[in-house]
Structure 1
Amino acid sequence: MSDDTVLEVAGLEVTYSTNRGDVRAVDGLDLSVRRGEILGIAGESGSGKSTLAVALLRLLKPPGRVTAGSVVFRPAGQSPVDLLKVHGEQLRVLRWSALSYLPQGSMNSLNPVMRIQDQFRDVILEHAPERKEALSEMIPRLLGQVGLEPRVARMYPHELSGGMKQRVLMAICVALEPDLVIADEPTTALDVTIQRVILQSLADLRRDFGVTLMVISHDMGVHAQLVDRVAVMYEGRLVEVGDVHQVFKDPQHSYTRQLIDSIPKLGRRAS
């Protein structure tokens, strides 16, 4: 793996046990994520996108299990590590400081009885207690970098709109300047105007922090606006990976063409 690759997935298989037998949700997946890029993971619901995300983050819950493969992660200035083989303290240290997660559903991802500033403190002090004295400066600065005013730090989640909650989560994700952020459906349940704000904020995070982003979305319009490369998943497999402009211009797989054709176009009548 080269120094320009932050994540290398090889032969990854994720299986769910059911009453009718095992179902393979991710099937022999190979994928490289380049340092500093925004990589999109596209596909319809059930294609395996979110299962891939939680498997990479070691957040997979039973009856799901990883049955094969490796996930080699290369944090800047550190030795490569196979995320599927680390446990306990080593895994805890990697999370947030080197690898963080922007989950689906910002509405349910913040503690409703804690002020925003306290939720920042929980994450930062758990993983970087030496930054305690800098918190009063860090929190307003992080909020500002996602377009939120300092007063948001003193608010509770119920006082924020859906888009504001999503931006708070984005700020928490990059608080410790991780190498890689995995964002799972970051624009779900947001209106079109707010979606645009979130996409711009994600692009700004890459620019301001140099963070690598893996953005998972069923919406090809999101990928068209944001990512550098797009990887298309179908039934647990990657069917196409390439430069986003080239993929949209000349898709090589029929499923990719169908996803692109699903983007609403002005003047098109519903059938």
Structure 2
Amino acid sequence: MNDVPANVLEIKGLDVVYSTNRGDVQAVRGINLDVRRGEILGIAGESGSGKSTLAVALLRLLKAPGKVTGGSVIFNPAGRSPVDLLKVHGEELRVLRWSALSYLPQGSMSSLNPVMRVHDQFKDVIVEHAPDRKEAVGDMIPRLLTQVGLEPRVARMYPHELSGGMKQRVLMAIAVALEPDLVIADEPTTAMDVTIQRVILQSLADLRTDFGVTLMVISHDMGVHAQLVDRVAVMYEGQLVEVGDVRQVFKDPQDPYTRQLIESIPQVGRRAS
């Protein structure tokens, strides 16, 4: 009776197109992919491969001229009935967001409101999606900040007072504030130097340990996947070309495109040809 489905997300035949003056452009083609509960799944591919389009389609954040033209996305949050994310609307979708499914957006520099203190940005999310926890906000925020490696005093600061890495960890804390089943992180280390990138990757790994969330991490950087994920799904021209255990994929890639992505990782001692 207490059985929880092994897959938190089951994507079947997902198609996404963008309408243009020259006709529809297929951005995502027939994606079939399961996301296992408790894993960190990487979505890899170069710019334009369809990674971010896949993410916003799953989150129901796709804007015109983009549109989903086929498929289903069955979401299995713990303690709730399964739902097809492509069919939920209005209040049902609002309730799912943040409490069961949340988003770590690309570009921490521009994702926080510049005129609001960090505390108020947490409060907005918590009160909007879990009004019953309004009275607990004051206790929740210091704990959440501490769990991503920030001091509680950060809650009183404005975004311009934070470094890029601190902003990203604030966003991570907001993403897990309501203990969702699944967090989708879109290019979480973009435009960060290698030192800060390592801190962010460790913080992402800690989210699974500390909060028990499942993570889908979207990145063009195969080095990020090598350090962080359990499985990796490689996209090329809107399609999945390879899915597998990250160690096995790096050891013996089955698709030539995957091999090229792996070979693009800079290596110490390698001379440019």
The one of 80, 84, 101 equivalent to 2:103 is: 101
How many residues are paired up? Answer: 270
Q: 2:158 aligns with which of 156, 159, 165?
A: 156
Q: Deviations over 1:54-107 (max 9, x none)?
A: 000000000000000000000001110000000000000000000000010011
| Structure 2 unaligned regions, length at least 5 | none
Find the aligned partners of 2:218 and 2:25 in 1 and give their Cα distance: 21
Q: Which residue of 1 aligns with 2:257?
A: 255
Which residue of the other structure, out of 190, 193, 196, is the alignment partner of 2:192?
190
Secondary structure of 2:234's counterpart equals: strand
Deviations 1:229-269 (A, max 9, x none): 00000000000000000000000000000000000000112
Distance apart, 1:20 and its partner CA: 1.4
Distance 2:136 2:86 in 1: 33
**Partner in structure 2 of residue 64 of structure 1:** 66
Name the counterpart of 1:173: 175
- Give the CA deviation at 1:270: 2.4
Can you list the C-alpha shifts for 1:191-222, whole angstroms capped at 9, x where unaligned? Answer: 10000000000000000010000000000000
Aligned to 1:12: 14
Say whether 1:133 aligns with 2:135: yes
Match of 1:33, SS?
strand
Q: Deviations over 1:23-80 (max 9, x none)?
A: 0000011000000000000000000000000000000000000000000000001110
Select between 119-128 and 132-141 the one with higher mean Cα deviation.
Answer: 132-141
Structural mapping, 1:108-127, within 5 Å:
108-127=110-129
- In structure 2, how many angstroms separate the alpha carbons of the residues matched to 1:158 and 1:270? 39
RMSD: 0.7
TM-score by length of structure 2 reads 0.98
Corresponding residue of 2:26: 24
Q: Which amino acid aligns with 1:105?
A: G
Secondary structure of the residue that 2:81 maps to in structure 1?
coil
Amino acid at match of 1:103: P
2:31 partner amino acid? L
The residue number in structure 2 matching 1:53 is 55
Which residue of the partner structure matches residue 91 of structure 1?
A: 93
Shift of 1:136: 1.3
Q: Distance in 2 between matches of 1:150 and 1:95?
A: 25
Runs of 4+ deviating beyond 3 Å: none
TM-score (norm 1): 0.99
Unpaired runs of at least 5, structure 1:
none
> Whole-Å Cα distance in 2 between the matches of residues 243 and 226 of structure 1?
12
Following the alignment from structure 2 to structure 1, what is the Cα–Cα distance between the partners of residues 153 and 271? 45
3-state SS, counterpart of residue 149 of structure 2 = coil
* CA distance in structure 2 between the partners assigned to 1:106 and 1:224 by the alignment: 22
TM-superposed CA distance for 1:131, in Å, is 1.1
Q: 1:227 aligns with which of 226, 229, 247?
A: 229
Find the counterpart in structure 2 of residue 35 from structure 1.
37
Q: Give the SS at the match of 1:68.
A: strand
What is the distance in 2 between the residues matched to 1:139 and 1:230?
Answer: 32
Measured after TM superposition, the shift of residue 188 of structure 1 is 0.1
Identical counterparts, % of pairs: 85
Q: CA deviation at 1:130?
A: 1.3
For residue 217 of structure 1, what is the aligned residue in structure 2?
219
Letter in 2 for 1:189: A
Deviates more, 1:127-136 or 1:141-150: 127-136
- Find the counterpart in structure 1 of residue 83 from structure 2: 81
Cα distance in structure 2, aligned partners of 1:94 and 1:129: 13
